[in-house]
Amino acid sequence: MEVFEVTGGRQLNGTVRVCGSKNAALPILAATVMAEDVCVIEGVPHLEDVRVMVEILRALGAQVDWQGDTVSVDPRNISSTDVPSHLMRRMRSSVFLMGPLLARFGEVRVSRPGGCVIGQRPIDFHLRGMRALGARIEQSHGYVRCTANRLYGDHITLDYPSVGATENLMMAAVLSDGVTVLENVAREPEIVDLAQFLQRCGARIENAGDGTITVTGVHHLGGARHRVIPDRIVAGTMMIAAAAVGGDVTLERADPHHLGAVIAKIRETGAQVQVERDIIRVTQAEPGRAVDIRTAPYPGFPTDLQAPFMALMTILRGTSVVRESVFEARFKHVDELNRMGANISVDGQTAVVHGVPRLSGATVEASDLRGGAALVVAGLAAEGTTRVEGLHHIDRGYEQLDTHLRDLGADIVRRAV
């Protein structure tokens, strides 16, 4: 087992380059199975979830070469449409293979993803949408099997703008017959990035990034080269860390347009945020003031930054309120933050955070990815040493978080115990 040992109280100063987005890279890698030629994806972060996706692509028969931040996928020899269940269990995002494999090969079998620590996370919108496109769905013994001789365009309205369902259905629609109109869909930057990759392969997609997407089916997709967008959640986490401990941090290769709601909230605490092209600079000289956040689908405040932002709130002057509207159980980090001296109470999907003058280092355990990042932010701001366990959660979404923070002057080490 590995842990982070973080000794708090040091300001962060310097420059960090933001890596490519995990949540953009995963569906794009899944989409390569629809292409009939080699796809080259650049800016792919070295993360456990990406490694699992690469293993799945190889298990399906694709030839995958990963050098530096570039992954080349040759999907021409794919011979299986069965996503291995041991890999599926390691990563929920393997559900993204449903749409592409069904569209290209007329069948797919995945093991049904279970609930997870942040909520139930059902896939009913995905399945209902696939059915509307003409798929037959059978569910038994923990597996979901979708089959279709052909998929046919239809008008589909999601009950909620689910990111994963929007991506899966957009991918399935690309190789369907006729026109698919997807309504009440997610508008996240990762959707737009996936659409741009698919368009480079020859797909006809209009209005990705709006609430209604129109896809006109084509018969084939070719290969393409594509660079994924910067990871807005990693960038946001570094900005929040800078606001929590003070200092002067510059992020390079960020996309400030994707972070509007986060930048606004960080400014509201009193920190300075300057933005220029792909650069974001956060400076914070004194403890900030309390602010409220409500998570919402993009362009609202991202649920993935709720936990790190709550770590910042624990030491803001005054009382902050967090309303989590996207996932029903995303407060697992609260008990751990309270162990560090925070004063947070939870009622349903609302958390009330009374700011305290300082946190104190403790042994805490990450139980999910973003909750783990919150504990690191808290450790950076706390007095004394914090030991963060459960690093495998954090490693799923942050490439070398400790190295980047050390480069900025933080006292954080990864230790095997």
Residue 308 sits in the site that holds ligand UD1 (CB under 6 A): no
Least distance (Å) between residue 254 CB and ligand UD1: 18
DSSP, residue by residue, 233-255: HHHHHHHHHHHHH-EEEEEES--
Please say which residue, 234 or 315, places its beta carbon nearer to ligand UD1.
Answer: 234
Residue 307 sits in the site that holds ligand UD1 (CB under 6 A): no
Residue 359 sits in the site that holds ligand UD1 (CB under 6 A): no
User: How far is it, in rounded angstroms, from Cα 161 to Cα 184?
Assistant: 6
User: How far is it, in rounded angstroms, from Cα 180 to Cα 166?
Assistant: 12
Please say which residue, 228 or 315, places its beta carbon nearer to ligand UD1.
Answer: 228
Active-site residue flag, 116 = yes
Residues 179-218 vs ligand UD1: string with x where CB under 6 A?
-------x---x----------------------------
Answer for which of 88, 213, 273, 326 binds ligand UD1 (CB under 6 A) is 326
Answer for which of 90, 112, 121, 354 binds ligand UD1 (CB under 6 A) is 121
Please say which residue, 213 or 316, places its beta carbon nearer to ligand UD1.
Answer: 213
Residue 115 sits in the site that holds ligand UD1 (CB under 6 A): no
Which residues does 92 contact at the CB level (< 8 Å), separation at least 6?
Answer: 113, 116, 121
User: How far is it, in rounded angstroms, from Cα 29 to Cα 34?
Assistant: 10
* CA neighbor of 11 nearest in space, from 243, 233, 314: 243
Please say which residue, 123 or 362, places its beta carbon nearer to ligand UD1.
Answer: 123
Cα 228 to Cα 172, 173, 254, 262, 327: the distances in Å are 20, 22, 12, 21, 26
Please say which residue, 20 or 246, places its beta carbon nearer to ligand UD1.
Answer: 20
- How many CB atoms sit inside 10 A of residue 97's CB? 26
Tokens for 206? 């209009």
Least distance (Å) between residue 15 CB and ligand UD1: 26
Residue 26 sits in the site that holds ligand UD1 (CB under 6 A): yes
User: How far is it, in rounded angstroms, from Cα 68 to Cα 159?
Assistant: 40
Which residues does 166 contact at the CB level (< 8 Å), separation at least 6?
Answer: 158, 182, 185, 186, 191, 213
Active site residues: 116
Q: Give the residues lining the site for ligand UD1 (CB under 6 A).
A: 23, 26, 93, 119-126, 160, 162-165, 186, 190, 303-304, 326-327
